[in-house]
Amino acid sequence: MDNNSRRKMIIEHLSNSTKPVSASFLAELFCVSRQIIVGDIALLRASEHNIISTNRGYILDDIMRKKHTRVFKVSHDEMRTEEELNIIVDFGGKILDVYVIHELYGKISAKLDLSNRNHVQNFLECLDGNANKPLCKLTDNVHYHTVEAESEEDLDLIEKKLVEGGFLIDEK
C-alpha cells in the first residue's frame, strides 16, 4: 500500500470510528511503525484534515463527520415494531431515540442508539409486553424517531420505505 492510499484509509477509519483510535492500533492495522502513523497524521493535518489528538488516540473533529438527522412521526401496532426498526437500520439509519407527545405529561423520550439488526433484536428482547412496554402504548401507537444518517439521500430513502410500509404519518 502506498503512502497516499494509507492516509486515505486512515481518514476513512477515523471517520467511521465512534471513539479515539490509537497510533499503535493504526500502525498494526496498516503494517507500519507507529512513527509512520504519527507522520501521516501530521501530513493529514497539514492538508486541512481536522484531526484531534486525545490521550486515547486520534479522532476527526465532528465538522468532518457531520451527520444528517430527521424526525419521523410513525404509527403501527406492536407486531410491526421489528419491521419498522429494521427498515430504518437496513437503509443506513441510526435510530437515536424514540419519543411520544403525551396529552398530560408532554414529551417523553428514551435514547435508543440502534444502528443494525443485532441492536434491534436486543432492544426487542427487552420489550417483553408485561413490565416493559413501548412508549407508543401511551399515545395509541403514535411515536417519533430521531434518525441519523450519512446523507439527506439516505434519509429520503428511509422516508420512502417507511411510507411504502405504511408507517409514516404525514403531518402536512
CA–CA gap between residue 81 and residue 138 (Å, rounded): 15
CA–CA gap between residue 103 and residue 117 (Å, rounded): 32
What is the predicted pLDDT for the residue at 62? 61
What is the predicted pLDDT for the residue at 86? 98
As annotated, the residues of the chain forming the CATH 3.30.1340.20 domain(s) are: 68-164
What is the predicted pLDDT for the residue at 64? 47
Fold that domain 68-164 belongs to in CATH: Histidine-containing Protein; Chain: A; (3.30.1340)
Task: Give the pLDDT confidence of 48-80 residue by residue, as tens digits.
Answer: 888 998 888 999 876 445 678 999 999 999 899
Binding residues for Ni(2+), as ranges, are 76, 84, 143, 145
- Chunk the chain into consecutive blocks of 10 residues (it has 172) and report each block's average pLDDT, rounded to whole numbers: 92 86 95 95 89 90 70 94 97 95 92 95 82 84 94 95 93 56
CA–CA gap between residue 8 and residue 13 (Å, rounded): 9
What is the predicted pLDDT for the residue at 151? 87
Contacts of 6 (CB under 8 A, 6+ apart): 30, 32, 40
CA–CA gap between residue 93 and residue 114 (Å, rounded): 9
Fold that domain 3-60 belongs to in CATH: Arc Repressor Mutant, subunit A (1.10.10)
As annotated, the residues of the chain forming the CATH 1.10.10.10 domain(s) are: 3-60
Binding residues, as ranges, are 76, 84, 143, 145
Average of per-residue pLDDT values in the chain: 90
Q: Locate cell 504519527: which residue?
A: 38
**Neighbour count for residue 161 (Cβ, 10 Å):** 17
Residue 151: left if φ>0, alpha if ψ -120 to 50, beta else—which one? beta
